[in-house]
Amino acid sequence: MDFRVRPGEIQEDQLTALMESYSSRWPTSLFMGAALAAIVGSALLKSQGKHQHALFVGQWAAPFLILGLYNKTVKQHGSDTHRSGSQESSQSELREAR
């Protein structure tokens, strides 16, 4: 059995589309800057002897970078690029590819 989701089979909801319309306006460098600030902030806290705070702030870098990747992906590919109007053509393309 093949459980993979094909393009156009499942669409995102309107809340996701709304959030992506706002977040795609933010520059990707914002997330990279936030990650760098978290790293620098963590190092400063560590140098001040606040080890627990340094660990807490240092762990923010990875989520900021992941959000940056998600933002970049939405900008490049959009969300739900296959809408219901193009769904029939995408399904016919899938049949031809098989």
Q: Of the given ranges (24-28, 48-52, 62-66, 86-90), which has the lowest mean pLDDT?
A: 86-90
Percent helix / strand / coil, the chain, rounded to 5: 70, 0, 30
pTM tops 0.75, yes or no: no
Q: Assess whether pLDDT exceeds 80 at residue 45.
A: yes
Distance CA 78, CA 82 (A): 10
Distance CA 71, CA 34 (A): 14
pLDDT digits (tens, 9 = 90+) for 56-77: 999 999 999 999 998 888 888 7
pLDDT at 88: 47
| Buried-state track 24-60, b at ≥16 Cβ within 10 A, e below 16 | beeeeeebeebbeebeebbeebeeeeeeeebeebbeb
CB 23 within 8 A of CB 71: yes
